[in-house]
Copies of this chain bind each other. A is one copy, B any other.
Amino acid sequence: MTTPSPIEYVDAPPQVRAVYDDIKKTRNVADVNNFWKYLARDPATLKRTWESVKQIMAPGALDPLVKEMIYLAVSVTNGCPYCIASHSFAARKARMSEAMFGEVMAVVGMANETNRLANGYRVPIDDAFN
């Protein structure tokens, strides 16, 4: 029974290093975040999660900044401290301004409020929405 600890590149087996290398190259960073170093305890989960994140967060019909702000909105709603810190950082790196941050937070706060008002008032879905 040992405490979880991060797996650094020098200590990592080849299949973990391969994922770290791809993260560093794709994101143009010198080292990977703690998230990946802890996930590396399970190389299958590390690889599958990275490949999914890489595919989903790539530019598409939505640009990367919008995707990062949505990621942040979900993390704030769930109250995940690590995720809020890491995706605030990522969104700012993708050029989220202070004004944009304020608006994301305002929408997240309001949506969490009206979600509960709709629950509590037991509002039936309008025909127009179906």
Contacts and interface: CB of A to CB of B under 8 A. Distances in A.
Contacts of A48: 52, 55-56, 106
B60 A99 contact: yes
Contacts of A70: 69-70, 73, 104, 107-108, 111
Contacts of A53: 110, 114
Interface string A76-103: 1111111111111100110001111111
Interface residues of A, number: 80
Nearest to A89: B129
Contacts of A88: 122, 129
Contacts of A104: 62, 70, 120
Interface of A: 1, 3-4, 33-35, 38-39, 41-42, 44-45, 48-49, 52-53, 55-57, 60-62, 66-67, 69-89, 92-93, 97-126, 128-130
